[in-house]
Structure 1
Amino acid sequence: MVSEGGGYRLGFDIGGTFTDLVMADEATGEIRIVKVPSTPKNPNVGALQGLKRLLAESNVKAGQLTFAIHGTTVVTNTVIEQKGAKTALITTKGFRDVLEIGRERRVTQYDIFEERLPPLVPRYLRREVDERTAFNGEILKELNREEVETLIRELAGLGVESIAVCLIHSYSNPKHEKEIEEIASKSAPNMRVSLSSAVLPAWREYERTSTTVVNAYTRPKTERYMEELTEGLKAEGFRARLFIMTAAGGIVPVETAA
């Protein structure tokens, strides 16, 4: 499989049992497929082993790859297996339990004894700040920066690795959320911070809060995974851009996904 012109496109997906890699010759349209066992403890190992085999069997060098798309269930599995980072939630006073109250929707609508899964952030790590922004973005009560600094230091002392920040109406005005991020970057520089105004700047508190919490919960592991994958590909000679498949069916640059 030696192209007379152009390069090659790569797609690879890591599953729980197997890792599948597909390479297409841009000039001829020829397809080459390789399937290798996955390596759950470090998914990148199986993917890179598969890539080496695919390139060797096709007589192609990694530098000839012009495009790569990667599909992975790492984020989904992190949530399902509850193996994410120790995460805290900072929200507006009075909205601490939005994450746990959720919506009326149930798996079994009329089962009053249904057992719900616990939220990704336990109540003792869901903290409130006394601030308020109106629906139109008007600041009704300013954020107390000293209060936030104390809170961040306390959370760091509890071993929190990542924080989800979801303040009421921040989609209209993210000023206070950005202030919390700024304070956290100084008080706990190694702590990840996910802002709802960046993750999902939309109304409806439960949806925005739960989405931001998932982002914060999975972010440290996802970042490490993406960084290791990117470095591993570079070590093999890959120089093109890497894209990640999203749950919506589209793709985003690896920098965005991480």
Structure 2
Amino acid sequence: MEKQWKCGDCGKGFRFPSKLEIHRRIHTGERPFTCPVCGKGFALSSNLWVHQRVHTGERPFTCSVCGNGFTQSSNLMKHQRVHTGEKPFTCSTSGTAFNNSSQLLTHQQVRTEEKPFTCSVCGKGFTQSSSLHSHNVTHSNERPFKCSDCGSGFKRSQDLMIHQRIHTEERPFSCSQCTNRFRTISNLRAHQRIHTEERPFSCSHCTKRFRTSSDLRIHRRVHTGERPFSCSHCTKRFRSSSALRRHQQVHSVERPFTCSVCGKGFTQSSSLLAHQRVHN
């Protein structure tokens, strides 16, 4: 059957005018189907139907290996590759294989440093439109998703779901190379680079490469001189929150690292290590 119904914006053809009408919402941004709980809009009624499971807690698609539930069959299929080790998507440039196409796309855009999706509020760029959509929530103070255990509020339902694993101690993502397990798939992916030795994030100022984008972001401060974390007890500033935490032990009476020879206490493990050379 001929695709006689053509989109005036991109030229794509459709067999039925109803399909063309739905397609045109991509260009117009129309989202006629609205969630009655949170107000989020969708281009398709089927997308709204799936989204509402976020509020109802329904997860009809269950993994037969670990019992994890999913709102969509496609998410279950992607998850099952964690257990099978299947990586059907391969980068033609580096040869690196991935569980799903979105990981491959992110990897390829990281290699080219292309970030075509830009936040209209702060100008931050993203490799995927979904990442930009998630980021846009950070500019809102609304936290509609509440934890029933501790009352903490979250801007996104997926953030609440991940947070709740702190209470359940659930670590559904296991490394196929070792016994480590993780709360999030992103933490698992970052960990797996220890085994693959992949360092996809490269510094534009020097030759150093990093396993995670956060490590690269912290490293760049060496070149920019940025020190966004300030000590509330003195005037010192630090490049990372972990460096600030280590420093704050100087102001604390707590000395958790103790010499087994003389009993002297230290605020940092590195100070203890340097001290132990006295006894050698």
Structure with max Cα Rg: 2
The structure where strand makes up a greater share of residues is 1
User: What's the TM-score once normalised by structure 1's chain length?
Assistant: 0.19
Q: Relative CO higher for 1 or 2, CA cutoff 8 Å, sep ≥ 6? A: 1
